[in-house]
Amino acid sequence: MEPILFLNLQRENGRYASEFKGAVSRVIDSGWYILGEEKEKFEKEFAAYCGTTHCIGVGNGLDAIRLILMGYMVQGVMQEGDEIIVPANSFIATALAVSQCGLKPVFVDCDIHTYNIDPTLILKKVSSKTKAIIAVHLYGQVAIMDELRVIARQYDLKLIEDAAQAHGAIYEGKKAGSLADAAAFSFYPVKNLGALGDAGAITTNDDNLSEIVRALSNYGSDDKYIHKYKGLNSRLDEIQAAILSVRLRYLDQDNRRRIEIARYYSENIKNPQIILPVVDNAESHVFHQYVIRSSRRDRLRRYLLDKGIHTQIHYPLSIHKQEAYSKLKNIVIPIAECLQEEVLSLPLYPSLKSEEIHRIVEALNQFS
Q: Please report, as ranges, the residues that interact with ligand PLP according to CB under 6 A.
A: 60-62, 90-91, 93-94, 136, 162, 164-165, 186, 188, 198, 200
State the nearest-atom distance from the C-beta of 332 to ligand PLP, in Å.
23
State the nearest-atom distance from the C-beta of 318 to ligand PLP, in Å.
14
Q: Which residues pair with 200 in a beta bridge?
A: 58, 186
State the nearest-atom distance from the C-beta of 68 to ligand PLP, in Å.
12
Residue 164 or 292 having the CB closest to ligand PLP: 164
Residue 162 or 238 having the CB closest to ligand PLP: 162
Residue 96 or 360 having the CB closest to ligand PLP: 96
State the nearest-atom distance from the C-beta of 187 to ligand PLP, in Å.
7
For 59-78, what is the HEC assignment? Answer: CCHHHHHHHHHHHHHHHCCC
Residue 187 or 274 having the CB closest to ligand PLP: 187
State the nearest-atom distance from the C-beta of 92 to ligand PLP, in Å.
8
State the nearest-atom distance from the C-beta of 247 to ligand PLP, in Å.
15
Residue 23 or 117 having the CB closest to ligand PLP: 117
CA 42/CA 242 separation, integer angstroms: 7
CA 65/CA 232 separation, integer angstroms: 13
Q: Following DSSP, what letter does each residue of 123-145 receive, concatenated?
A: GGG--TTEEEEEEE-GGGBPP-H
Residue 164 or 343 having the CB closest to ligand PLP: 164
* Whether the Cβ atoms of residue 344 and residue 311 lie closer than 8 Å to each other: yes
**Chain residue at closest Cβ approach to ligand PLP:** 61
Q: How far is CA 163 from the centre of its chain?
A: 4
**Counting Cβ atoms within 10 Å, is residue 227 exposed (0-12), middle (13-18) or buried (19+)?**
middle
Q: Following DSSP, what letter does each residue of 275-325 receive, concatenated?
A: BPPP-SSGGGB--S-EEEE-TTHHHHHHHHHHTTB--B-S-SS-GGGSGGG
